[in-house]
Chain A
């Protein structure tokens, strides 16, 4: 069980992700953001529960819904926000954008625009870590949609064979873009990993403690040379696949009642109730956290809005090391 201090820290991080994403949703609706924005609202417990078990030296790869993982792994909210705005003050100086936030100094190898794109990269980072023998662990965050890509099978196989320190973290958010997962997915995804003899856990992805516990076991196993693990965290994507969904989509793929039902299982509300019941935090305490978080969000939004646009020179300077193409 996490300590009260750890629980409060996870609560604050989850709330930071939620409020950042809400701000991005509003800014997107106001036409302030370029490109596409895929939000993590509803899934915060997964990224936060897992990353609480990692250090800056461990690696993660993420998805196109990657803001939550970035913040959970210790990425700077200001630099992330500016990146999404396409500013030179962004974490990648505007070269990556929302789908490619990365901070190598924090072990964040990058969000990824390709469904399942990060899985093999995390496996490769684990390969490097194993050869280095320094106890680092790599976590591949991916969705239920990615589990239907072939690379998932390839990497489950080779990581098991080679005993690589990697954790496959499938966030079952119930949707493959605009299609309910159960209509395009045969069997249980965890059974696919189990078939390779890999230790598997299926957890309530809206319960941060459960995620934290399962991730702790998997990370410890990986660090100790026990090889890869698979965790399926059942959660729910509250927002659409992307913020432009209402504009670009004519069809309807889910019912409002279903979203409402999952709102009642909100991971942040649940942790708050738990903390209240345990006497770990009272209303004043929560108000203080809320105020700190909204301060950070305001600061990030202002930083992004005020930042200079991306540097045109960069477009031609970055492709290869030390030279123009």
Chain B
């Protein structure tokens, strides 16, 4: 075991895959010489050289197109979009080209590529550098969507994404980059489409993603200590494919469900989970489901306002105690 930060896990995970497979390439803005604007990719240039680790112009369409074309012709490229907000500048290639080409060509081609991007708020960057956009990607058939919450998962799910034959949008949460934990030695390879139960409880199921996972866990401790409420916390980890079994099994056991989502409320991923629960096991529920989300607003920059908008530990505790009455 060695202690690794979430940001360090990114370079660790990329290096693990580049070491294993010489078809893995990595490109993006400021990723090589500068080591990444979030210090996530330092050392890769020195280790793998300028052919395999490349700085690009600030040209997101070119980055994503390069990654796509290279994947179609036999490589397994990783492209970085510095902020997930920049997906909007290259959405044609992501949504119209990458997501649909395997399908439209009758499976003549595979697109084994990964688009890594820094997602989410909490850093006071304002409305164009703070969005949680996992639900955009989730809304496009043909994309796999992953969002890890721990350093170990960054390494393991990144490895699974690189090895996956389909395109994966990999959302790292910039509010988690400083998080640390002990990570197992040796190769780590996880599995897409598997949720993880982070805490077991009997009274309700809290389903969370990325930075909302540690908040949900902290809230669960408070709920237990101060309100006698015992919560299961599920880390979804992968929105597409989605591990519905783990969620449904838990809801059947606890009979109550809350989702904690950083994405704006309308059409957030939690709505999909709530809808699946309603279809599959509504008779197991003992009360209304609750979605704890960022409201449907652009994110404000001012600290106090951003904190007000994104679900906090207190907001989770408050909402859950209210629903459990």
- Known contacts: A95-B103, A319-B103, A321-B165. The answer to whether A126 contacts B108 by CB under 8 A is no
**Most interface-central of A93, A119, A120, A162 (chain B CB within 10 A):** A120
Which residues of chain A come closer than 8 Å to B106, judged between CB atoms?
91-93, 95-96, 314, 318
A126:B69 contact, CB within 8 angstroms: yes
Kindly specify which of B94-102, B128-136, B293-301, B312-320 makes contact with the partner chain: B94-102
A110-132: contact bitstring with B at CB < 8 Å (1 yes, 0 no)?
A: 10111001011111111111011
A38 at the interface (CB under 8 A from B): no
Most A Cβ at <10 Å: residue of B69, B72, B144 = B69
Of A119, A120, A131, A325, the residue contacting B141 (CB under 8 A) is A325
Question: Which residues of chain B are near A154, meaning CB under 8 Å?
Answer: 57, 59, 61-62, 65
Inter-chain contacts of B51 with A (CB < 8 A): 131
Known A92-B106, A125-B73, A319-B103; judge A151-B57 contact (CB<8 A). Answer: no
Q: With A92-B105, A102-B108, A319-B103 in contact, is A124–B57 under 8 Å at CB?
A: no
Cross-interface CB contact of B92 among A100, A103, A114, A138, cutoff 8 Å: A114
Q: Specify which of B57, B67, B70, B105 is in contact with A100 (CB 8 Å cutoff).
A: B105
Closest chain A CB from B11 CB (angstroms)? 21
Distance in angstroms from B90 CB to nearest chain A CB is 8
- Residues 1-30 (chain A) with a chain B CB within 8 angstroms: none
B102 CB to closest chain A CB, in angstroms? 7
- Asked if B62 and A120 sit within 8 Å, CB to CB, the answer is yes
A104 touching B66 in the complex, CB below 8 Å, given contacts A154-B57, A319-B102, A321-B165: no
A279 CB-CB contact with B under 8 Å: no
Cross-chain contact A322 with B62 (CB below 8 angstroms): no
Residues on the A chain within 8 Å of B67, using CB: 124
Residues of chain B within 8 A (CB-CB) of A124 are: 65-73
Contact between B108 and A120 (Cβ–Cβ < 8 Å)?
no
B225 on the A face (CB < 8 A): no
CB contact list, B104-157 vs A, under 8 A: 104-110, 141-142, 144
User: Is A150 an interface residue, CB under 8 A from the partner?
Assistant: yes
Q: Are A125 and B104 in contact (CB under 8 A)?
A: no
Q: Counting CB contacts under 8 A, is B269 at the interface?
A: no
Closest CB of chain B to A86's CB: distance in Å? 12
Q: Given known contacts A117-B97, A319-B141, A321-B165, is B69 in contact with A158 (CB within 8 Å)? A: no
Instruction: Tell yes or no: B74 within 8 A of A by CB.
Output: yes
Docked-complex contact A138 and B75, CB < 8 angstroms? no
Q: Are A104 and B59 in contact (CB under 8 A)?
A: no
Chain A residues within an 8 Å CB radius of B110: 321
Query: Residue B307 at the A interface, CB < 8 A?
Result: no
The answer to whether B102 and A121 touch across the interface, beta carbons within 8 angstroms, is no
| Nearest B residue (CB) for A161 | B57
Chain B: interface residue total (CB-CB under 8 A): 41
- Selected contact of A96 from candidates B56, B57, B105, CB within 8 Å: B105
Residue pair B104, A95 in contact (C-beta under 8 Å)? yes
Check A125–B57 contact: CB distance below 8 A: no
Contact with A along B260-271 (1 / 0, CB 8 A): 000000000000
Bound Cα distance from A218 to B189, whole angstroms: 44
- B residues within 8 A CB of A112? 97
Kindly identify, within residues 58 to 112 of chain A, every residue whose CB is under 8 Å from any CB belonging to chain B. 59, 91-93, 95-96, 100, 102-105, 109-110, 112
Residues from chain A with Cβ under 8 Å of B70 in the complex: 124-125, 127-128, 131
Q: Which B31-89 residues have C-beta < 8 A from chain A?
A: 51, 54, 56-57, 59, 61-62, 64-75
Does A181 interact with chain B (Cβ within 8 Å)? no
Q: Is B93 an interface residue (CB 8 A)?
A: yes
Docked complex: B205-246 residues within 8 A CB-CB of A:
240-241
CB of A150 within 8 A of CB of B68, answer no
Interface: B25 (CB within 8 A): yes
Across the interface, which residues of B come within 8 angstroms of A103, CB to CB?
Answer: 108
A320 at the interface (CB under 8 A from B): yes
Bound Cα distance from A155 to B63, whole angstroms: 9
Assembled-state Cα–Cα distance A321/B163 (Å): 12
State whether the Cβ of A53 lies closer than 8 Å to any Cβ in chain B: no
**A127 and B57 in contact (CB under 8 A), knowing A96-B106, A100-B105, A314-B106?**
no
Looking at the complex, which one of A100, A121, A319 makes contact with B72 (CB distance below 8 Å)? Answer: A121
Cα-based distance from A325 to B106 in the complex (angstroms):
15
Smallest CB-CB separation from A156: which chain B residue?
B62
Q: How far is the CB of B227 from chain A (nearest CB, A)?
A: 39
Known: A110-B101, A157-B57. A128 touches B62 (CB 8 A): no
9 more contacts with CB within 8 A, not counting A112-B97, A131-B70, A322-B165, are A104-B105, A104-B109, A120-B64, A122-B69, A123-B65, A124-B65, A129-B73, A138-B69, A325-B240
6 pairs, CB–CB < 8 Å, chain A vs chain B: A59-B69, A120-B61, A127-B69, A155-B62, A319-B103, A320-B102
Q: Interface on A for B, CB 8 Å cutoff?
A: 59, 91-93, 95-96, 100, 102-105, 109-110, 112-114, 117, 119-129, 131-132, 136, 138, 150-151, 154-155, 157-158, 161-162, 314, 318-323, 325
Q: Which 10 pairs of residues, A with B, have the shortest CB-CB distance?
A: A124-B69, A120-B65, A128-B73, A154-B59, A321-B165, A154-B62, A128-B70, A125-B69, A92-B106, A96-B104
